[in-house]
């Protein structure tokens, strides 16, 4: 396996070190190449993602990314120029974000009995993230700014099909479309039509619909209702942060940016950001990065190793001192030991 590693900014490098430590235990022969991309490269050279680097990344089986973002770089530069550019260039149309409340983890909700175990399939290459839109009469009192959400039958169908396939394989076989079809009539009708069409191929998957605003209510009052959620790029961004919060925080949330055609390497990353305020202090929880490695192995067909990592994380979460889980290194060491035991 040839793995490209982009540690990135802030706590990215710290959590990636621990994730690679754990990966080394189950896949000792993995070949890694590290790419220096992010804030410091941009400051030093003005480069975000040179074509040559993009070409090299394409030669790998998968990419592991830490985090991107720094307060010294204007908002949007690294996000659009590096992170989103990778997702778009590598056609990462399925942004896969499981949210599970592990035993022993205390989330913010009072009801601790709910069994939260959902997977959000977020569309990753279109919608309001297309970057379409513009400014007119900039910096005047008559300025107009537009953002165009672009939604295609092609783009939606491949994501909806993937979500149904995942629902089909899960015990509850339940899928919820999250959108805002009562206001965004054009995009809403297209999403609804395609979910309806694909559902005909999966008669044993039950289908529900929730407006995105109502979905945020359900996520805090009855999160157990969700099994697989399929949704657009922006709604997926919002509800996966909330889903991560109710399952114990973004310190635990992993994600995969998948090209399910496998023409391009998929990219795995913790949902959390670069957290510059705690960078370099050993305070970051590497668990999300480690779980991202588990998703990576699962995607590459190494199911056994993936499960072993997830089980080790589950064991550690059930037994760790929640108020004092240990340093970044200490957690990584514990997880590595569990995985190899």
Ligand X SMILES: CC(C)[C@H](C(=O)O)[C@@H](O)C(=O)O
Give the footprint of a copy of itself on this chain (CB under 8 A).
Answer: 69, 75-76, 79-80, 84, 106-112, 128-129, 131, 133-135, 137, 139-154, 157, 180-190, 193, 212-214, 216-217, 220-221, 234, 237-242, 244-246, 249-250
Q: Cβ closer to ligand X: 62 or 239?
A: 239
Of the listed pieces 20-28, 79-87, 185-193, 304-312, which binds ligand X according to CB under 6 A? Answer: 79-87
Cα–Cα distance for residue pair 104/106, rounded to 1 Å: 6
β-partners of residue 231 are: 122, 178
Closest CA to 120 of 241, 240, 215: 240
Burial 6-39 (b: 16+ CB within 10 A, else e): bbbbbbbbbbbbbbbbbbebbbeeeeeeebebbb
- Asked if 286 and 252 touch (Cβ cutoff 8 Å), the reply is no
What is d(CA 270, CA 97) in angstroms, rounded to the nearest whole number? Answer: 10
What tokens appear for 297 in the block?
């192995």
Three-class DSSP labels, 35-87: CCCCHHHHHHHCCCCCHHHHHHHHCCCEEEEEECCCCCCCCCHHHHHHHHHHH
Among residues 234, 25, 70, which one has the least CA distance to residue 149?
A: 234
- Contact status: 213 vs ligand X (CB under 6 A): yes
Nearer to ligand X, 123 or 316 (CB): 123
67 in Cβ contact with 12 (< 8 Å): yes
For position 79 contacting ligand X by CB under 6 A, the verdict is yes
Which of residues 78 and 293 has its CB atom nearest to a copy of itself in the complex? 78
Regarding 83 and contact with ligand X (CB under 6 A), the answer is yes
Residue 296: how many CA atoms within 13 Å on its side-chain side? 32
Q: Is 249 annotated as a binding residue?
A: no
**Residue 139 annotated among the catalytic residues of the structure:** no
Q: Residue 283's binding partner, choosing from ligand X, a copy of itself, none, with beta-carbon cut-off 5 to 8 A by kind?
A: none
Concerning whether 232 is annotated as a catalytic residue, the answer is no
Q: Annotation-wise, does 227 bind a ligand? A: no
- Is 237 a residue that touches ligand X (CB under 6 A)? yes
Residue 145 binds which entry of a copy of itself, ligand X, none, with Cβ cut-offs from 5 to 8 Å by kind? a copy of itself
Choose between 173 and 211: whose C-beta lies nearer to ligand X. Answer: 211
**H or E element in which residue 337 lies:** helix 328-340
Q: Are 4 and 60 in contact (CB under 8 A)?
A: yes
321 catalytic residue (yes or no) = no
Site string for ligand X, 151-190 (x = CB under 6 A): -------------------------------xx-------
Please identify, among the stretches 76-84, 108-116, 158-166, 301-309, the one whose residues bind ligand X according to the rule CB under 6 A: 76-84
Q: Would you say 99 is a known binding-site residue?
A: no
Residue 280 known to bind ligand: yes
How far is residue 31's CA from residue 33's CA, in Å, rounded to a whole number? 7
180 is catalytic: yes
Crossing angle for the helix pair 185-199 and 153-169, to the nearest 10 degrees: 40
CA distance linking residue 192 with residue 177, whole number of Å: 8
Catalytic residue among 117, 129, 227, 259: 129
Interface with ligand X (CB under 6 A), residue total: 8
Taking the least distance from each CB to ligand X, the nearer of 215 and 331 is 215
Is 311 annotated to bind ligand? Answer: no
Q: Which is nearer to a copy of itself, 24 or 81 (CB)?
A: 81
Helix (H) or strand (E) holding 33: strand 31-34
The question of whether 213 is a catalytic residue gets the answer yes
Report the binding-site residues: 87, 97, 122, 213, 237, 241, 273-285
Q: Which residues are annotated as a binding site for Mg(2+)?
A: 213, 237, 241
Catalytic residues: 129, 180, 213, 237, 241
- Interface residues toward ligand X, by CB under 6 A: 79, 83-84, 182-183, 213, 237, 271
């Amino acid at each position: 396996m040839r793995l490209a590693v982009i540690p990135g900014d802030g706590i990215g490098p710290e959590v990636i070190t621990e994730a690679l430590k754990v990966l080394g235990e189950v896949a000792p022969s993995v070949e890694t190449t590290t790419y220096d991309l992010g804030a410091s490269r941009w400051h030093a050279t003005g480069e975000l993602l040179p074509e040559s680097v993009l070409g090299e990344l394409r030669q790998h089986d998968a990419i592991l990314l830490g985090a991107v973002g720094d307060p010294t770089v204007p908002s949007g530069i690294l996000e659009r120029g590096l992170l989103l550019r990778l997702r778009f260039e590598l056609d990462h149309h399925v942004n896969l974000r499981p949210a599970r409340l592990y035993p022993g983890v205390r989330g913010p909700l009072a009801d601790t009995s709910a069994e939260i175990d959902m997977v959000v399939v977020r569309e990753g290459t279109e919608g309001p993230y297309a970057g379409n839109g513009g400014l007119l009469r900039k910096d005047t009192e008559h300025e107009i700014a537009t953002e165009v959400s672009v939604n295609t039958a092609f783009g939606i169908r491949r994501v909806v099909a993937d979500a149904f396939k995942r629902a089909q394989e899960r015990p509850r076989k339940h899928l919820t479309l999250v959108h805002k079809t009562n206001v965004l009539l054009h995009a809403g009708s297209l999403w609804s039509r395609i979910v309806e069409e694909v559902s005909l191929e999966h008669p044993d998957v039950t289908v529900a619909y929730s407006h995105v605003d109502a979905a945020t209510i359900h996520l805090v009052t009855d999160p157990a209702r969700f099994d697989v959620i399929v949704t657009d790029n922006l709604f997926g961004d919002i509800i996966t942060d909330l889903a991560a919060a109710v399952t114990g925080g973004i310190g635990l949330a992993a994600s995969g940016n998948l090209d399910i055609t496998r023409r391009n390497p998929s990219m795995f990353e913790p949902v959390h950001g670069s957290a510059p305020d705690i960078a370099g202090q050993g305070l970051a929880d590497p668990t999300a990065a480690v779980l991202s490695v588990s998703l990576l192995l699962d995607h590459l067909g190494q199911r056994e190793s993936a499960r072993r990592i997830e089980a080790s994380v589950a064991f550690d979460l059930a037994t760790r001192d929640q108020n004092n889980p240990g340093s970044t290194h200490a957690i990584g060491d514990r997880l590595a030991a569990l995985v190899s035991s």
